[in-house]
Amino acid sequence: ILSDVLVATAAKHADPLAVFPCCHSRKRKVLESVASPYAKKEYHKILSHRGSMPDLVDRLDTVRMVALENAGFDVEEFF
């Protein structure tokens, strides 16, 4: 959740950031005040999914990266 708040805040204010997300989960958290329309739609899909979601990490990280790209950031993913 903290990563999502940081991404949304950086996108809103055009502040650079580096994120090292961990502990991905589908905890229900209202991000209405900070999430982009794209992120809200994707989070809804993730939170509404029933059962196991083996690709949860990839889906959450993709939402975060696309949200930043949509806000005009250059995004790089490192492993």
User: Given pLDDT bands bounded at 50, 70 and 90, which one contains residue 43?
Assistant: confident
Return the ∠ at Cα 74 (arms to 4 and 56), rounded to 5°. Answer: 40
User: Given pLDDT bands bounded at 50, 70 and 90, which one contains residue 33?
Assistant: low
User: Given pLDDT bands bounded at 50, 70 and 90, which one contains residue 45?
Assistant: confident
pLDDT of 30 strictly over 60: no
For the chain, what is the mean pLDDT?
A: 81
Return the ∠ at Cα 21 (arms to 16 and 26), rounded to 5°. Answer: 125
Alpha-carbon gap, residue 23 to 18, rounded angstroms: 17
